[in-house]
Amino acid sequence: MLSFEGEGFTQPEREALEAFCAKLEDHPHGGRADGRIVVAEARSEGMIQALQMYMKDDEYDSWFARLPERTVVTGGKTFVADDEILTAVVAPLPDQALLDIAAHEAIEIAHAVHQIESGFVRPTNPDEADGLTLYDEYRVERARREISNELRWPEGATDAVQGMRAVIDEIASRMPSQRLDPPHMDFFGAWLEMAQALVMACGRGAGGSQSALEDVRRWSEHPLVADNGWEPVQNSLDELYEQPGLGLEELAPFTASLIRRPIIGYGRDAWRRGP
């Protein structure tokens, strides 16, 4: 069962999220969401301060150190807190956007519960670790959209936003005019952040969001990614989603070869081609 902290949730929003979690338990890509959701305070540093309050010190320090390099804003984050409770901190967004972010993090909590109970240890191989993360973001957003549709939730701001083009524009603007192989590690960091935003949009699109489909279409026309090489990755995401019985140990090599490695390859091509 979820518990709530912070003043951001109204009683109707709590009831809506509880109804979402009830549906989540029976969803093929869901599970039991046992944990805590915290709404950060509505001020410029509210999200950072909430994460600092709940995260373990070493994990927070690592997250904070990477913050200046990030090209995607953190709207929610799930982790095992310093008191060992599964915790999600969400930004105090207005209207339906808060429910959408909280629902996303509720699914993340359910997946974390399953991982802990199954004794799964995340792989240290970056292809498998990043591949699992990218696939999980896809299936979380697709499952969220499917359950939201079933509950007749309106499309919120997180679904309606057209943000993918801005992310790839940001990456292109950071690329130096003179580039030597191999690409800089910070480029690959930004590239994988973009890929994470992309797979989430693909998940929403597959779950029925027309806005997300349009967002991906506009992104795909950018000169840096306009070779249509991403279609195999999108197909692989769809195909893996249709096999909910696959365990994480089985998924890891698939996500490495079908998702992460091709995405890194596209990044190398983009670095050579330039903006």
Read off the pLDDT of residues 222-273 as tens digits, 9 standing for 90 and up: 999 876 678 999 999 999 999 999 999 999 999 999 999 999 999 999 999 8
265 with 221, same domain?
yes
Global pTM reads 0.92
Q: Which stretch of 63-77, 105-119, 202-216, 218-232 has the lowest confidence by average pLDDT?
A: 63-77
110 with 139, same domain?
no
Q: Which stretch of 3-7, 61-65, 119-123 has the lowest confidence by average pLDDT?
A: 3-7
DSSP letters for 159-225: HH---HHHHHHHHHHHS-SS--SSPPHHHHHHHHHHHHHHHHHHHHHHTT-HHHHHHHHHHHTSTTT
DSSP reduced 3-state for 58: helix
Task: Please give the torsion angle defined by the CA atoms of residues 238, 159, 12 and 76, in that order, rounded to the nearest 10 degrees.
Answer: 80
The helix or strand, by DSSP H or E, that contains position 240, with its residue range, turns out to be helix 231-241
Scan for tokens 């690592």, then name that residue: 62
Distance CA 7, CA 75 (A): 17
260 with 216, same domain?
yes
248 with 144, same domain?
yes
Range of the domain at 245: 135-273
Q: What average pLDDT does this structure show over 19-33?
A: 96
For residue 151, is it within any domain?
A: yes
Per-residue pLDDT reduced to its tens digit, 41-95: 877 788 899 999 999 999 999 989 888 777 667 789 999 999 999 999 998 888 7
Task: Please give the torsion angle defined by the CA atoms of residues 20, 21, 27 and 33, in that order, rounded to the nearest 10 degrees.
Answer: 150
**Average pLDDT in the chain:** 91
pLDDT beyond 70 at 17: yes
Number of domains in the chain: 2
Nearest alpha-carbon partner for 257 in 121, 129, 131, 126: 131
Cβ-based neighbour number of residue 26 at 10 Å? 9
